[in-house]
Amino acid sequence: MELILKQDVENLGFKDDVVTVKNGYGRNFLIPTGQAILATSSAKKVLGENLKQRAFKEAKIIEDANKKAEAIKAYELKIASKVGQGDKLFGSVNNINVAAALEKAGTEIDKKFIKVIGGSVKRLGKYEATVRLHREVVADITFEVVAE
């Protein structure tokens, strides 16, 4: 089943991509939740026209995303967390905590676009995360988990 995505879908594609999925996934999840529409010939033509008109705007969006990526890379993020014995944390540090630290630093980014490399952090130290600002712009940031 061919579908046109109306928004970014994790592990599937980005907005306005034409993707092929299994019938049940398309009919029972993507279409009812408004994340995709059927890729009929007329819908593909409309999509083609929209992409042509958006090409110029896309260059400006990518330029802004690159500027934001450079600003994010310059940040020195420190995330304070409660610590037990040794350097083990009570709980963990994940993408939500990184998003909150970025917001304190002055850049608001949705938590779903942040991935902490290695999953959640459970010890003190320096770690890395990737931030997807655009389908073509990904920034790698480092953060440090310190004792509260």
Verify that 89 and 52 share a domain, yes or no.
no
Can you give the residue range of the structural domain that contains 33?
2-60
Q: What is the pLDDT of residue 20?
A: 95
- Single out the residue in 45, 60, 75 at which a domain terminates: 60
> What are the structure tokens assigned to 87, written together?
């350097």
99 and 123 part of one domain: yes
Q: Are residues 89 and 142 in the same domain?
A: yes
Same domain, 139 and 104: yes
Q: Which stretch of DSSP H or E encloses residue 97?
A: helix 95-105
pLDDT digit string (tens) for the chain, length 148 residues: 999 999 988 889 888 899 999 999 999 999 999 999 999 999 999 999 888 888 888 888 889 989 988 988 888 889 999 998 888 998 899 999 999 999 998 888 888 889 998 888 899 999 999 999 888 889 999 999 998 8
Domain boundary among 60, 76, 93: 60
Note whether 11 and 38 are same-domain residues: yes
Predicted pLDDT of residue 85: 84
pLDDT for residue 45: 94
- Backbone torsion region of residue 146, taken as left when φ is above 0, otherwise alpha when ψ lies between -120 and 50, otherwise beta: beta
Here the CATH number for the domain that contains residue 107 is 3.10.430.100
- The answer to whether 138 touches 82, Cβ cutoff 8 Å, is no
* Structural domain count of the chain: 2
